[in-house]
Amino acid sequence: MTAMTPAILWQRFAEAGLVQGEAPASGEAGSPWYVRVMLGVAAWIGALFLFGFVGVSFRFVIENASGALITGAVLCVAAWLVFSSLRHNDFTGQFGLAASLVGQVLFLYGLFRLFKTERAEVYLLMFAFEAALVVFLPNFLHRVWSTLAALAALAYALGSLGLPYLGTGVIAACFAIVWLHECRWAKPASVREPVGTGAALALAWCDVNILWREAMWPWMARDGQGLPTYATHLGTLLTACVFVYMAVRLLRREDVVLGSRVGIAALAGSVALMAAAWSAPGVTAALLIMLVGYASGNRFLLGLGLIALGGYLSYFYYQMHSTLLAKSAVLAETGAVLLVARAVMLSLFDTAAGKAVRRA
Amino acid sequence: MMPYRDTILAWAEQGRLTPDQTPTALRLAGVLPTPSQWLRFLDRLLLWLSTVLLAAAVIFFFAYNWQALGRYAKFALVEVPLVVAVLLAWRFGLERAAGKAALVAAALLVGALLALVGQTYQTGADTYELFTTWALAILPWVLVGQLAALWLFWIGLINLAMILYFHVFGRPLGSVIGTPQLLWWLFGLNTTVLALWETLARRGIAWLNERWALRVLATACVACITVLMVWVIVDSRHISMTPVYVYCVWIVVVYAVYRHYIRDLYVLANSLLSGIVVVTCLLSRVLFESLHADAGAFLLIGLVVIGLSAAGGWWLKTIAQEEQS
């Protein structure tokens, strides 16, 4: 596609009978992902100093739970006012983001002081608080962060309830639902896009993080009892179901009949992959991010999936729940299933396109 | 993000496209992959992922050091896949993806073989020697492979060998002495490679023109020089101004090259963040240590960081819009 502009694109859509009338005025273009990452990191640095200012100037705020909770909430309301009234001002946008981050840290700190322990209630309250911020604070970066924080809090809450691995599955489901239905839910794009990005980051984070959190469960599990055996499999099962759901959605989108040879092979391949990678669920989650990223034309997700896979393999090496020999067998099985899946795929597509791919 | 993805979704949000029309519009604009693009993507994904997982399985296996398995069986377990990988690379040819994947697998298996040699014969070699030997052993394959990922892996091995070398020999006078020297070496190496790579890519070597690989290298360079600058600011015993001069030159060169010549916003954003970190450290040092400022300094630095990042974000967005129009 050469030298395409929004006007030419609109004309092409009009010729295809998709749109009518004049092309809409082009709005403000979104920033590239790395500009957003730069702004997010800088906002966190700014927030650390603002937090230092609050800590030194208003010591009483962090000395009692209610002070921290109220100040935290007030700062978030202030951020909402800033975002709502000065939506297109870059400085106030960054200031609102940094102020809200300080507010969120204070709110979480207040919750921990109030409950005096890491109980599920604390994480559930944090989840509700962050979810409310996602809905009400109209700023892209803020919504990405709040989604990530909300889903992380939910994962920790499930962990505290004795279901540590379920968090990954729940986050995978949120991620897949948002991205695989983006055309249907195009209306609230200002919410959908950052929520989808936040869910992707949460999934990548949970993917790697679940391993070191494993060491914390004996301490976090109620009454010092071990986790029920089904608890470790629930999350993996849910992630596997989400993966198969994704395969079904994408096959339907590409007009592939599920009962056809290609449909059956794709579903059988997905199930075989889930079975092979059962003891390495991070591989499944990373693959989910990559496939959804490619399907929606989002290169950021594709790169994030690759990073999640690399991070997972590095942590998988040090994971203590099984021997390196067992982990080696899991990786070999998964690799072999992927190779067989490729061979089957190429044999099914004995078309000109398939032959071209084979030759490339 | 694919071009015009946001535009089309914005039109859908405005109600100019119905939910049923949106996928068709996205497909028409080339945002959603076509069946042949899907086939190509899945082919590459399955091929590379299986290669990485199978090679990782071999490495995990030898890290386990299974005592029940004899010495010869262990060598056979790594040498047979290595020979098979080399034969496959030769059979498929290095111009095909399958051949390149086989070559990458062979390069990874050489590491497993060297580790096994060290494990079996207790050579007493340091870890940096393993990585140096590994890098030297696979250099011919890297040269003929014509694959950006393999080059990046090779440069990563050299970086790792350098870090491990300094871990052993670079700290005769304590941990503080070795680190700046190591950072200088890493910065020098990665910057040289980046400059060479960019030059060759601009001269038409297509397989080197992979922006993601160049961005990884640029990130490593920015990280090294930023840490060096922070070191100069934080460490009061540091009297050399060399990092300051090099940093200033680096920033000017990055601006000139990536703003006007190559146009890569990622590297500019990276360098901008580096500038914010350096200014933050400098202000902290001046206000807290030299002027003994208190709460007001926290607020001032916080606002400066917010102001700089907002201005930087606005500047980068302006450049991005210039490039799109």
Q: What is the pLDDT of residues A221-235, one digit of tens each?
A: 444 455 566 767 888
The answer to whether residue A211 scores a pLDDT higher than 60 is no
**Residue A89 structure tokens:** 């001002």
CA pair distance A174, A181, nearest whole angstrom:
11
Question: How far separated are the first and last CA of chain B, in Å rounded?
Answer: 17
Q: Which chain B residue shows the shortest CA-CA distance from A306?
A: B49
A185: phi then psi, degrees, rounded to nearest 5 = -105, 40
Alpha helices in chain B (DSSP H): 5-13, 21-28, 35-64, 71-92, 97-121, 127-145, 148-169, 175-202, 211-234, 242-255, 265-284, 295-324
Nearest to A338 among B49, B273, B299 (CB): B49
pLDDT for position A77 = 94
Distance separating alpha carbons of residues A161 and B122, to the nearest angstrom? 48
Q: Give the number of other CB atoms < 10 A from CB of residue B256.
A: 11
For residue A165, the model assigns a pLDDT of 76
Query: Within an 8 Å CB–CB cutoff, is residue B39 touching chain A?
Result: yes
Residue carrying structure tokens 């078309």? A351
Q: What confidence score (pLDDT) does residue B114 get?
A: 92
Whether residues A46 and B57 touch (CB distance < 8 A) is answered with no
Which residue from A112, A349, A46 is spatially nearest to B284, judged by alpha carbons? Answer: A46
Predicted pLDDT at A212: 47
Residue A136, exposed/middle/buried by CB under 10 A (0-12, 13-18, 19+)?
Answer: middle
The alpha carbon dihedral of A203, A208, A211, A214 has a sign of negative
Identify the residue with better confidence: B20 or B151. Answer: B151
pLDDT at A314: 85
For the cut 60, the answer to whether the pLDDT of residue A2 exceeds it is: no
User: Per-residue pLDDT averaged across B2-20, rounded?
Assistant: 77
Residues 311-330 of A with CB under 8 A from B: 313, 317, 323-325, 327-329
B205: left (phi over 0), alpha (psi -120 to 50) or beta: beta
- Whole-structure pTM value: 0.87
The confidence score (pLDDT) of residue A213 equals: 53
Residues in chain A: 360
Residue B248 has pLDDT above 90, yes or no: yes
pLDDT for residue B278: 95
Beta-carbon contacts of residue B87 (< 8 Å; ≥ 6 apart): none
User: Residue A181: closest CA among chain B residues belongs to which residue?
Assistant: B19
pLDDT at A320 over 50: yes
Which of A168-177, B121-130, B193-202 has the least mean pLDDT? B121-130
So what's the pLDDT on residue B126? 82
Tokens of A254: 């590409």
How many Cβ atoms are within 10 Å of B160's Cβ, its own excluded? 17
Contact indicator for A234, A169 with CB cutoff of 8 Å? yes
The residue among A355 and B305 whose pLDDT is bigger is B305
pLDDT given at position A334: 94
Per the CB < 8 A criterion, the answer to whether A198 and A178 are in contact is: no
Is A32 in contact with B32 (Cβ distance < 8 A)? no
Q: How confident is the model at residue B150 (pLDDT cuts 50, 70, 90)?
A: very high
Mean pLDDT, rounded, of chain B:
88
ipTM of the complex: 0.85
**Considering only residues 246 to 285 of chain B, which have any Cβ-Cβ distance to chain A shorter than 8 Å?**
265-266, 269-270, 272-273, 276-277, 280
Going A322 to A324 to A326 to A327, the CA torsion angle's sign is positive
Is residue B21 within 8 Å of A40, Cβ to Cβ? no
Would you place residue A317 in the very low, low, confident or very high pLDDT band (cuts 50, 70, 90)? confident
Read off the pLDDT of each residue in A119-130 and give the average, rounded to a whole number: 90
pLDDT of the residue at B251: 94
The contacts of residue A113 (CB under 8 Å, 6+ apart) are A64, A65, A68
Kind and range of the H or E run holding A308: helix A299-318
Confidence band, pLDDT 50/70/90 cuts, at residue A50: very high
Q: Rounded CA gap, B97 and B102, in Å?
A: 9
Contacts of B299 in chain A (CB under 8 A): 49-50, 53
Any idea of the CA torsion for A108, A112, A114, A117, to the nearest 10 degrees? 160
Per-residue pLDDT averaged across B137-156, rounded?
94
A271's tokens: 């199930």
Answer yes or no: is pLDDT of A48 > 80.
Answer: yes
CA gap B218, B201 in Å, rounded: 15
- A205-219, B84-98, B243-257, B304-318: segment of lowest average pLDDT: A205-219
Q: Flag whether residue A359 sits within 8 Å of chain B, measured between CB atoms.
A: yes
> Binning pLDDT at 50, 70 and 90, where does residue A281 land?
confident
Residue A32 clears pLDDT 70, i.e. is over it = yes
Task: Yes or no: say if A192 and A140 are a contact pair by the CB < 8 Å rule.
Answer: no
With beta carbons less than 8 A apart as the criterion, state whether B101 and B47 touch: yes
Section B203-219 average pLDDT: 91
Q: Which residues contact B292 (CB under 8 A, 6 or more apart)?
A: none
Output the pLDDT for position A215. 46
In the block, tokens 């993601």 appear at B212
Structure tokens given for A33: 């992902």
HEC sequence for A75-106: HHHHHHHHHHHCCCCHHHHHHHHHHHHHHHHH
pLDDT in tens, B30-77: 888 888 888 999 999 999 999 999 999 988 888 887 777 888 888 998
**Do A140 and A36 meet the contact criterion of CB atoms below 8 Å apart?**
yes
Which range (A29-33, A169-173, B85-89) has the least confidence? A29-33
Amino acid identity of B69?
L
Of A13-17, A126-130, B214-218, give the lowest mean pLDDT range: A13-17
Q: What are the pLDDT digits (tens) for A3-22? A: 567 788 888 888 888 777 77
A182: helix, coil or strand?
Answer: coil
The distance of B164 to chain A (nearest Cα, Å) reads 18
Distance CA B303, CA A198 (A): 26
Q: Give the pLDDT score at B172.
A: 54
> pLDDT value at position A227?
59
How many Å apart are CA B43 and CA A341, to the nearest integer?
9
Report, as an integer, the average pLDDT of B158-164. Answer: 93
Per-residue pLDDT, A221? 47
- Whole-angstrom distance, CA of residue A11 vs CA of residue A13: 5
* Residue A35 sits at the chain B interface (C-beta within 8 Å): yes
Nearest-CA distance from B64 to chain A in Å? 5
| pLDDT tens for each residue of A228-270 | 667 678 888 999 999 999 999 999 988 888 888 889 999 999 9
More confident residue, B174 or A37: A37
- The CA-to-CA distance between both ends of chain A, in Å, stands at 22
CB B310, CB A94: distance < 8 Å: yes
A271 touches chain B (CB under 8 A): no
Distance CA B9, CA A9 (A): 13
